[in-house]
């Protein structure tokens, strides 16, 4: 074969390779832009139900969701920060604020989702609830609350909302026992490990039990005598979707906006309420 012919063939081959190289990334990029990578903790039945509905709503938009499930609470934010996932859904404002401070992170909430309220449960006697209303808790009564800083603060704000205490702090400022400004019933607040407040119900007038331990303890959350109010003080406990600070400038911006729109529908709201039995409250 003549050198001219060899060069011509080589040129055509190179051109074909360049055309293929030019086309392939565009095709892949288009597919990637419409695929949202979501980071979650291991999905509960209620999480599964709401994400199934969201996927269904996004089908007509051509948006697909890929999930990465984590078992360590420190991992989803790291994966979002470094681009392994586009968005995560597992935390509330308080958690993210602390994570950003401790890790020099810059993740931001992009859409509120739901709120799982803390609840105050009546003490028991012979296996039956002593009270059916928070107002029945007697003067000098005792209330057990979790003793770790985050849950103790949340518990004290709940007791304030219930009209049992008044604190000298508000909003997202942590509250502790020393922040109790008024205690009109002279209640004894017993600080226990979060895993023990349910077990204390036979020996106290009421207890705040973390939702993680309610089912384990065989407590019917519908019998709570007071439910945390979704107000300004409780905003820090709202769950949300989190992404990078510059998410609106990313190539996934339009897909993420469609995800938010799908999440914030009456269909998903209904699934959340029904699948959680009313434990989770939509807050958009």
Output the DSSP codes for 2-46.
Answer: -HHHHHHHHHHHHHHHHHHHHHHHHHHHHHHHTEEEEEEESPPHH
Q: What percent of the chain has pLDDT over 70?
A: 89
21 assigned to some structural domain: no
242 and 150 in a common domain: no
Q: Is 134:161 a contact under the CB 8 Å cutoff?
A: no
Q: Is 145:192 a contact under the CB 8 Å cutoff?
A: yes
CA distances to 33, 77, 179, 242, 282 from 255, rounded to whole Å, are 7, 20, 45, 14, 22
133 and 94 in a common domain: no
111 and 240 in a common domain: yes
222 and 135 in a common domain: yes
Question: Which residues touch 266 (CB under 8 Å, ≥6 apart)?
Answer: none
Prediction pTM value:
0.73
For the residues 205-228, what does the mean pLDDT come to?
A: 89
Q: Which two tokens stand for residue 155?
A: 């518990």
29 assigned to some structural domain: no
Number of domains within the chain:
2
146 and 220 in a common domain: yes
106 assigned to some structural domain: yes
145 and 111 in a common domain: no
CATH code, domain with 247: 3.40.190.10
Q: Which residue has the higher pLDDT, 3 or 123?
A: 123
6 assigned to some structural domain: no
124 and 137 in a common domain: yes
For the residues 30-39, what does the mean pLDDT come to?
A: 86
Q: Which two tokens stand for residue 76?
A: 């989803």
- Closest listed residue to residue 66, CA positions, set 74, 58, 105, 261: 58
149 and 65 in a common domain: no
Residue 142 belongs to what H/E stretch? strand 142-146
Domain with 256 in it: 36-116+236-282
Q: Which two tokens stand for residue 210?
A: 């973390």
Tens-digit pLDDT profile for residues 184-204: 999 999 999 988 999 999 999
Per-residue burial over 8-29, b if 16 or more Cβ lie within 10 Å, else e, is eeeeeeeeeeeeeeeeeeeeee
16 assigned to some structural domain: no
Distance CA 27, CA 48 (A): 30
153 and 89 in a common domain: no
79 and 102 in a common domain: yes
**What's the chain's average pLDDT?**
88
49 and 140 in a common domain: no
- What does residue 227 show for φ and ψ, rounded to 5 degrees? -120, 135
Last residue of a domain, one of 229, 244, 270: 229
Q: Is the per-residue pLDDT at 212 higher than 80? A: no
Q: Is 210:73 a contact under the CB 8 Å cutoff?
A: no
241 and 101 in a common domain: yes
5 assigned to some structural domain: no
74 assigned to some structural domain: yes
Last residue of a domain, one of 185, 212, 229: 229
60 assigned to some structural domain: yes
Band of residue 35 on the pLDDT scale cut at 50, 70, 90: very high
């Amino acid at each position: 074969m003549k050198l001219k012919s060899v060069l011509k063939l080589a040129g055509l081959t190179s051109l074909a390779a360049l055309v293929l190289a030019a086309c392939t990334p565009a095709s892949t990029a288009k597919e990637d832009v419409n695929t949202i990578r979501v980071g979650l903790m291991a999905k509960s039945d209620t999480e599964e139900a709401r994400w199934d509905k969201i996927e269904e709503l996004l089908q007509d938009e051509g948006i697909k969701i890929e999930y990465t499930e984590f078992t360590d609470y420190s991992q989803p934010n790291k994966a979002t920060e470094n681009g392994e996932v586009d968005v995560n859904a597992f935390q509330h404002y308080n958690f993210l604020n602390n994570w950003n401070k401790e890790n020099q992170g810059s993740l931001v909430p992009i859409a509120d989702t739901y709120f799982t309220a803390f609840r105050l449960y009546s003490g028991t006697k012979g296996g039956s609830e002593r009270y059916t209303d928070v107002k029945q808790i007697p003067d000098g009564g005792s209330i057990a609350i979790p003793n770790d800083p985050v849950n103790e603060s949340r518990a004290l704000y709940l007791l304030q909302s219930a009209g049992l205490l008044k604190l000298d702090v508000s909003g997202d400022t942590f509250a502790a026992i020393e922040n109790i400004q008024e205690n009109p019933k002279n209640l004894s607040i017993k600080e226990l490990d979060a895993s023990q407040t349910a077990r204390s119900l036979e020996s106290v007038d009421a207890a705040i039990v973390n939702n993680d331990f309610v089912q384990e303890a065989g407590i019917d959350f519908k019998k709570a005598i007071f439910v945390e109010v979704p107000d300004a003080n409780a905003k820090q406990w709202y769950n949300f979707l989190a992404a990078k600070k510059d998410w609106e400038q990313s190539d996934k911006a339009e897909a993420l906006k469609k995800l938010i729109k799908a999440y914030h529908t009456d269909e998903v709201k209904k699934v959340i309420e029904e699948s959680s039995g009313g434990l989770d409250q939509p807050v958009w």
